[in-house]
Amino acid sequence: KNQVEQSPQSLIILEGKNCTLQCNYTVSPFSNLRWYKQDTGRGPVSLTIMTFSENTKSNGRYTATLDADTKQSSLHITASQLSDSASYICVVTLETGRRALTFGSGTRLQVQP
């Protein structure tokens, strides 16, 4: 069964600090990996997307990395802000006829002043 596992489940950091969220996946065959940000009560919004040939992608203070050999990805947030408080979801796309999205359960990040 295809799976996407994220760690930690939740994280509390102080404003201005950096943090790194982890994603391990067993989805195969792999098409692409995305990180989404989901604010409370809202739908997920895409932060980054990487194909298997890419190993890093940045979007402002967010930097995602991908190791397709070990099937691991990370999302690094630099100089965190209060507005970064949200759930961060790792999503892997199967390279199949219907290209289903497989979601991790997310990491809940809380940035405190």
89 binds other proteins (CB under 8 A): yes
Asked if 36 and 44 touch (Cβ cutoff 8 Å), the reply is: yes
Out of 35, 66, 106, 107, the only residue in the binding site for other proteins (CB under 8 A) is 106
Out of 71, 104, 107, 109, the only residue in the binding site for other proteins (CB under 8 A) is 104
Q: How many residues bind other proteins (CB under 8 A)?
A: 23
- Ranges within 10-39 binding other proteins (CB under 8 A): 31-32, 34
C-alpha distance from residue 1 to each of 36, 53, 71, 94, 107 (Å): 22, 24, 15, 12, 21
Given the complex with other proteins, which of 13 and 94 has the nearer CB atom? 94
CB of 16 vs other proteins, minimal distance in Å: 30
Alpha-carbon span 81 to 14, nearest angstrom: 9
Out of 20, 26, 46, 58, the only residue in the binding site for other proteins (CB under 8 A) is 46
Nearest Cα residue to 109 out of 7, 4, 3, 5: 7
98 binds other proteins (CB under 8 A): yes
**Residue numbers at the binding site for other proteins (CB under 8 A):** 4, 31-32, 34, 41-46, 49, 89, 91, 93, 98-106
